[in-house]
C-alpha cells in the first residue's frame, strides 16, 4: 500500500501562503488603517488649544489675519505669505483667533503629511510599508514638537512631502502632468518657507535616474522649475504692487539675519553662530539615543543598498541638512522638521526590506522599530495629558488676584505673556512704568539664567517689602503688589 502525504517543504509552503493570504486580507488592511488613522486624528487634534502659544505663533496669527481681513501685507514680510494666508483664512471662517482655531490648519497639515507618506510608501513598496510610514509619523515626537503648533515648518513639511511623492510619480511615468504638479508642490513648499526650494535637487536627480538623460528630461525639468517659480509668485498676487518690494525685503532680511546669527543654547552653552553639528544634537534630543541609532542604521543600510528610491529619500533629507548645517549660519531647532518625512519613510522601507529576510532580518527590523514604539507610547500619553500651559496659568493667577490690569513687569517671555493679559501693559524695564505702580513682576527662571537683567533684579531687591511672591508656576516666579491696608 502506497502512503501519500505532504512533505515538510509543502507544509511550510502552505503555511507561508496562508499567512500571506491573512496579511493581504482586505478586512485586516482596512481595520489596521482605520485604527492608525484614528490614532493620527487623536494625536493631531485632541486638546489642541490648551497649550501655551509658542514662539512666532502670535506673529503669524496676527499677520495672517491682517493679510486676509485688511489687505495689510506689512507684517512679517521676512517670510513668504502662503502659510500665514492659511492661518488668516481660518480665523475669518471660524470667526475666532483662539489657539484651538488657529492651530487647526497646522494639525491638518501634519495629518496630511502622514497620509502622503502612506500613499508614497504604498506606491513605492506596498500597502504595509505605507501603513508603517503613516504609523511612524503619527507616533513620532514630531507630532508634539511641530505638528500641533501654528508655525511655518509644519506647512513646509507637508508641501515638501507632497512634492517628493509627486516627483517620484513623475520619475516613474515621465508624465508632463506629474512634472507640472511636482513643480507646483515645490512652489507651495517654497511659498511656505524659502527652504522648500532645497527639495528640488532631489526631485531632479530621481528624474535623471529613472527617465535618463534625454530631451524629455530636460524639457520636463524646465517645466517643473517654471511651475515652482510661478506658484511662488502667484502666492504674492494679493499684495499686487507691494509684492516686488516684499520679496526684496524678505531676501535682504534673510541675508542680514544669516550674517548676524541668532542666539541659541545647546547643552547649556550659548551660541550666536551654532556649530555645524547643532541639528544632530537637536535630532538626538528629539528622538533619544535608541531611535536616533535606528535612523542612523536606516541611513547606512540605504547607502549600502544604493537603490533608486532609497537614494532619492537620502538626498531629499541630506541636501537641506547639509545646506542648513554648513552654509546657513542661523540654526534653530525647529528647522530640522523639514527633512524628517523622508527619514521616516526611509525607516519604514528599510524595516520592510529587513523583515523579508527570514528570522535574522525580522529580528533586526523589530530592533529598528522598537524605539519608535516606545516613543509612540510616550507621545500618546503626552497628548492625553495636555493641560493649560504655565503662561496661561500665570495670567489666570493675576486675574484671580486682581493684578491683570495696569503695568506688569516681565523678565523673559514678555511677548507671549501679553497674549494672555490683554488689559495689562507689559513692561521689559521698570523705567517703562513712567511713575505708575507696577502691579506684578513675572520672572522666567530659564530666561534669567541665560541673560541676567540687573534692572529687574535691582527693582525687586529695592521694593521687596511691596511685593509678595506666589507659589512658582512651572518655570515662572510671580510677585504681586501687596494690597494697601
The percentage of the chain sitting over the pLDDT mark of 90, rounded to a whole number, equals 61
pTM: 0.88
pLDDT of residue 177: 97
Which pLDDT does position 484 carry in this prediction? 63
- Lowest mean pLDDT, pick from 23-32, 88-97, 122-131, 223-232: 23-32
- Mean pLDDT across 339-344: 95
Residues ≥6 apart with Cβ < 8 Å to 283: 292, 295, 336
Which pLDDT belongs to residue 356?
83
Q: Which of 155, 186, 160 is nearest to 60 (CA)?
A: 155
In angstroms, the CA 148 to CA 136 distance is: 16
> pLDDT above 70 covers what percent of the chain?
93
For 463, the enclosing helix (H) or strand (E) is none
Write down the domain spans for the chain: 43-384, 390-481
Q: What is the pLDDT of residues 245-275, one digit of tens each?
A: 999 999 999 999 999 998 888 988 889 999 9
Which candidate, 347, 360, 362, places its Cα nearest to that of 290?
347
- Judged by DSSP in three states, 263 sits in coil
What element of type H or E holds 226? Answer: helix 215-234
- Whether the pLDDT of residue 1 is over 50: the answer is no
Over residues 190-195, mean pLDDT: 96
**pLDDT for 132 beyond 70:** yes
Identify the pLDDT of residue 19: 47
Residues 199 and 319 sit within 8 Å (Cβ to Cβ):
yes
Question: Residues 6 or more apart from 483 whose CB is under 8 A from it?
Answer: none
Give the C-alpha distances (Å, rounded to integers) separating 6 from 10, 31, 316.
6, 34, 50
Query: What's the pLDDT score for residue 23?
Result: 63
**Cα-trace Rg, the chain:** 26
pLDDT at res. 357: 78
Is it the case that residue 341 has pLDDT exceeding 90?
Answer: yes
Residue 320 near residue 195, CB atoms below 8 Å: yes
Q: What CA–CA distance (Å, rounded) separates 242 from 249?
A: 11
pLDDT-wise least confident of 44-53, 222-231, 281-290, 471-480:
471-480
Position 212 confidence tier, pLDDT thresholds 50, 70, 90: very high
Closest CA to 144 of 307, 314, 377: 377
| pLDDT computed for residue 20 by the predictor | 56
Q: Give the distance, in angstroms, between the CA of residue 372 and the centroid of all CA atoms in the same chain.
A: 17
Question: What is the structure's pLDDT at 419?
Answer: 81
* Distance in angstroms (rounded) separating the CA atoms of residues 388 and 367: 36
The per-residue pLDDT for range 277-294, each reduced to its tens digit, is 999 999 999 999 999 999
The strand order across the sheet containing 440-444 reads: 424-427, 406-411, 440-444, 476-481, 467-469
User: 131-166 burial, b if ≥16 CB within 10 A, otherwise e?
Assistant: bbbbbbbbbbbbbbbbbbbbbbbbbbbbbbbbbbbb
Which of helix, strand or coil describes residue 427? strand
pLDDT tens per residue, range 361-386: 888 899 999 999 999 999 999 998 88
Q: What is the mean pLDDT of the chain?
A: 89
Task: Provide the grid cell at 173.
Answer: 511615468
Average pLDDT over residues 295-320: 92
Amino acid at each position: 500500500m502506497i502512503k501519500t502525504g505532504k512533505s515538510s517543504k509543502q507544509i511550510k509552503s502552505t503555511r507561508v501562503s496562508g499567512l500571506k493570504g491573512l496579511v493581504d486580507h482586505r478586512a485586516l488592511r482596512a481595520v489596521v488603517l482605520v485604527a492608525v488613522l484614528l490614532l493620527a486624528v487623536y494625536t493631531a487634534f485632541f486638546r489642541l488649544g490648551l497649550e501655551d502659544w509658542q514662539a512666532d505663533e502670535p506673529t503669524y496669527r496676527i499677520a495672517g489675519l491682517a493679510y486676509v481681513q485688511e489687505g495689510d501685507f506689512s507684517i512679517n514680510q521676512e517670510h513668504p505669505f502662503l502659510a500665514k494666508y492659511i492661518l488668516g483664512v481660518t480665523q475669518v471662517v471660524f470667526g475666532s483667533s483662539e489657539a484651538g482655531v488657529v492651530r487647526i490648519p497646522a494639525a491638518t497639515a501634519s495629518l496630511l503629511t502622514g497620509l502622503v507618506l502612506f500613499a508614497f510608501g504604498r506606491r513605492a513598496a506596498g500597502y504595509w510599508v505605507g501603513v508603517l510610514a503613516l504609523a511612524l509619523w503619527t507616533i513620532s515626537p514630531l507630532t508634539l514638537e511641530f505638528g500641533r503648533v501654528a508655525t511655518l515648518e509644519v506647512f513646509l513639511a507637508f508641501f515638501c512631502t507632497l512634492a517628493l511623492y509627486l516627483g517620484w510619480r513623475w520619475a516613474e511615468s515621465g508624465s508632463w502632468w506629474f512634472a507640472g504638479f511636482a513643480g507646483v508642490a515645490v512652489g507651495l513648499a517654497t511659498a511656505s518657507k524659502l527652504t522648500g526650494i532645497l527639495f528640488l535637487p532631489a526631485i531632479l536627480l530621481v528624474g535623471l535616474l529613472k527617465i535618463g538623460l534625454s530631451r524629455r528630461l530636460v524639457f520636463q525639468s524646465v517645466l517643473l522649475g517654471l511651475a515652482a517659480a510661478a506658484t511662488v509668485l502667484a502666492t504674492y498676487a494679493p499684495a499686487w504692487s507691494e509684492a516686488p518690494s516684499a520679496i526684496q525685503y524678505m531676501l535682504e532680511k534673510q541675508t542680514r539675519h544669516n550674517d548676524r546669527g541668532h542666539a541659541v543654547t545647546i547643552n547649556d552653552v550659548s551660541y550666536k553662530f551654532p556649530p555645524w553639528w547643532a541639528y544632530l544634537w537637536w535630532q538626538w534630543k528629539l528622538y533619544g539615543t535608541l531611535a536616533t541609532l535606528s535612523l542612523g542604521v536606516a541611513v547606512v543600510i540605504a547607502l549600502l543598498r544604493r537603490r533608486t528610491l532609497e537614494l532619492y529619500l537620502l538626498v531629499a533629507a541630506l541636501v537641506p541638512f547639509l545646506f542648513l548645517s554648513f552654509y546657513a549660519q542661523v540654526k534653530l531647532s525647529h528647522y530640522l522638521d523639514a527633512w524628517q518625512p523622508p527619514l521616516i519613510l526611509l525607516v519604514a522601507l528599510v524595516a520592510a526590506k529587513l523583515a523579508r529576510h527570514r528570522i535574522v532580518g525580522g529580528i533586526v527590523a523589530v530592533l529598528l522599530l522598537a524605539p519608535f514604539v516606545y516613543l509612540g507610547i510616550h507621545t500618546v500619553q503626552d497628548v492625553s495629558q495636555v493641560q493649560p500651559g504655565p503662561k496661561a496659568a500665570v495670567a489666570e493667577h493675576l486675574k484671580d488676584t486682581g493684578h491683570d490690569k495696569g503695568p506688569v513687569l516681565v523678565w523673559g517671555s514678555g511677548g507671549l505673556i501679553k497674549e494672555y493679559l490683554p488689559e495689562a501693559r507689559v513692561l521689559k524695564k521698570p523705567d517703562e512704568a513712567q511713575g505708575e505702580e507696577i502691579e506684578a513682576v513675572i520672572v522666567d527662571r530659564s530666561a534669567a539664567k541665560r541673560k541676567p537683567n540687573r534692572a529687574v533684579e535691582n527693582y525687586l531687591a529695592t521694593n521687596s517689602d511691596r511685593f509678595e511672591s506666589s507659589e512658582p508656576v512651572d518655570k515662572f516666579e510671580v510677585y504681586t503688589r501687596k494690597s494697601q491696608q
